[in-house]
Amino acid sequence: MKKVINTPKAPAAIGPYSQAILAGNTLYISGQVPIDPATGKLVDGDITAQTEQVMKNIKAILDEAGFTFQDVVKSTCLLATMDYFKPMNEVYAKYYPTESPARAAFAVQALPLGAMVEIETIAVKA
């Protein structure tokens, strides 16, 4: 059985998808781009500012579903260029100071709305 997770504290979906789906004890969070949920617009700033907003959006969805960053088991990070890899990692590491999840990170040709970063997340409750 699946349950749609939705919170106004994270950006609304910009297409035919849910912010997250809870299936059993596993939470699948759709790729989050750096949209400020208060304005519905991409945040101003560099890759650091954009990654910080993405992580805030992920936290809002985790919170809504009753999960934490400690429950995250896998992330996929999409970057507009691998030049953003190091500064993205610096922000990302603040949210996973120990026992970091498994992860893939790669550059793509383009991201929605011209974003520099998008991160998809899977969390599991033991």
The C-alpha atoms of residue 36 and residue 58 are separated, in whole angstroms, by: 12
The confidence score (pLDDT) of residue 16 equals 92
At 63, which CATH number?
Answer: 3.30.1330.40
Cβ neighbours for 103, distance < 8 A, ≥ 6 positions apart: 74, 75, 76, 77
The confidence score (pLDDT) of residue 19 equals 97
Report the amino acid identity of residue 5: I
Q: What is the pLDDT of residues 1-55, one digit of tens each?
A: 899 999 999 999 888 999 999 999 999 999 999 999 999 999 999 999 999 999 9
Contact 4, 18 (CB under 8 A): yes
**Number of domains composing the chain:** 1
Per the structure, the complete domain to which residue 33 belongs is given by 2-124
Output the six-digit token pair for 49: 């500012």
- Per-residue confidence at 72, pLDDT binned at 50, 70, 90? very high
- Three-class secondary structure of residue 119 per DSSP: strand
Q: What is the mean pLDDT of the chain?
A: 96
